[in-house]
């Protein structure tokens, strides 16, 4: 059985997105359809949801999960950086709400062949869209030591970036997640290993972000989402690390067409974190479209 991604902050998403019957909504990172399913249950009868995701495996799961909603849901394989183009191709000018969940899904983490998890042996891939040209192995094996260190600092905020980059270069070529994790373990002094997260977390995060150009896509997608909202429409974004959250916070605050609804990010309850440890670092921010 395919593991489904447990939707994070589900009740909070429904509260801040406020989906209503007859409305038109976009789940710009639909994944395996957890949030989308709950939104569709709120917007029927008469409502419609468009779901985007660049991962074809996730979309296949979402299609099965959401098939009972029939024509009320339309799923498209696309990067949310192309949101405006996708909606225009569908003949959609305005929507009542947009959701973006920026987390990696349980489906991706549980698939060894995708290479997202340092806990599972697999190839150094990390592509959300398997058709993308660049893999994590390409970056690890082709970048210079200086470029690798800068990548780990910028996207992973890794304090031991130079040491890790040096060890990676010394061991190249690397082709598996386990080989990369061993290089990280060797490079970072044991006394500096974090207690709550694995020592490989920051490096894997940095490579995943770089492979998928996640921050660039987010910077492109947020203004497009604000533009397509009807007055009174809501934009809800769930981020999972400070780099994403910083972009979301500043973009929402600077947008003249948006009114920020969450001065501080909404965090999961202790109960949710106990049920779903993946939710631990989640932060939800919401804004509403106002007349420009």
d(CA 69, CA 63): 10
Which candidate, 3, 2, 27, 24, places its Cα nearest to that of 13? 27
Domain 10-107+214-289 has CATH 3.40.50.150: yes
- Given a contact cutoff of 8 angstroms between Cβ atoms, the answer to whether 174 and 124 are in contact is yes
pLDDT tens figures, 98-156: 999 998 887 888 889 999 999 999 999 999 999 999 999 999 999 999 999 999 999 99
Q: Where in the chain is the domain with CATH 3.40.50.150?
A: 10-107+214-289
Within the chain, all domains assigned CATH 1.10.150.170 are found at 131-212
Percent of the chain residues topping a pLDDT of 90: 90
Residues 195-249: tens digit of each pLDDT: 778 899 999 999 999 999 999 999 999 999 999 999 999 999 999 999 999 999 9
Domain 131-212 in CATH 1.10.150.170? The answer is yes
What the block records as the tokens of 91 is 């003949």
Q: How far apart are CA 100 and CA 51, in angstroms?
A: 10
Q: pLDDT digit string (tens) for 87-99?
A: 999 999 999 999 9
Rounded Cα gap, residues 266 and 51, in angstroms? 23
Per-residue pLDDT, averaged over 60-73, amounts to 97
Residues 252-261 pLDDT 10s:
999 999 999 9
């Amino acid at each position: 059985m395919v593991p489904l991604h447990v939707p994070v902050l589900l009740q909070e998403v429904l509260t801040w997105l406020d989906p209503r019957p007859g409305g038109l909504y976009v789940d710009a990172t639909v994944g395996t359809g957890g949030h989308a399913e709950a939104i569709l249950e709120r917007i029927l009868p008469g409502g419609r949801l468009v779901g985007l995701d660049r991962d074809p495996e996730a979309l296949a799961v979402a299609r099965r999960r959401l098939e009972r909603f029939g024509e009320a849901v339309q799923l498209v394989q696309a990067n949310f950086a192309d949101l405006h183009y996708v909606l225009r191709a569908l003949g959609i000018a305005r929507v009542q709400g947009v959701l973006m969940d920026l987390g990696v899904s349980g489906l991706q983490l549980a698939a060894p062949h995708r290479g997202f998890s340092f806990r599972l042996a697999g190839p150094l891939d990390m592509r959300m869209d398997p058709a993308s040209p660049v893999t994590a192995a390409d970056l690890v094996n082709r970048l210079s030591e200086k470029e690798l260190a800068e990548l780990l600092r910028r996207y992973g905020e890794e304090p031991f970036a130079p040491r890790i980059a040096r060890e990676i270069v010394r061991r190249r070529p690397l082709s598996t997640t386990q080989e990369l994790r061993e290089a990280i373990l060797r490079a970072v002094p044991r006394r500096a290993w974090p207690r709550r997260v694995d020592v490989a977390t920051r490096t894997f995060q940095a490579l995943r972000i770089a492979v998928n150009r996640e921050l660039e896509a987010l910077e492109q997608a947020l203004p497009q989402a604000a533009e397509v909202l009807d007055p009174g429409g809501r934009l809800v974004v769930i981020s999972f690390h400070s780099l994403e959250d910083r972009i979301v916070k500043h973009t929402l605050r600077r947008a003249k067409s948006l009114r920020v609804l969450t001065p501080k990010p909404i965090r999961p309850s202790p109960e949710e974190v106990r049920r779903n440890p993946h939710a631990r670092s989640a932060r939800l921010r919401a804004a509403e479209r106002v007349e420009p």
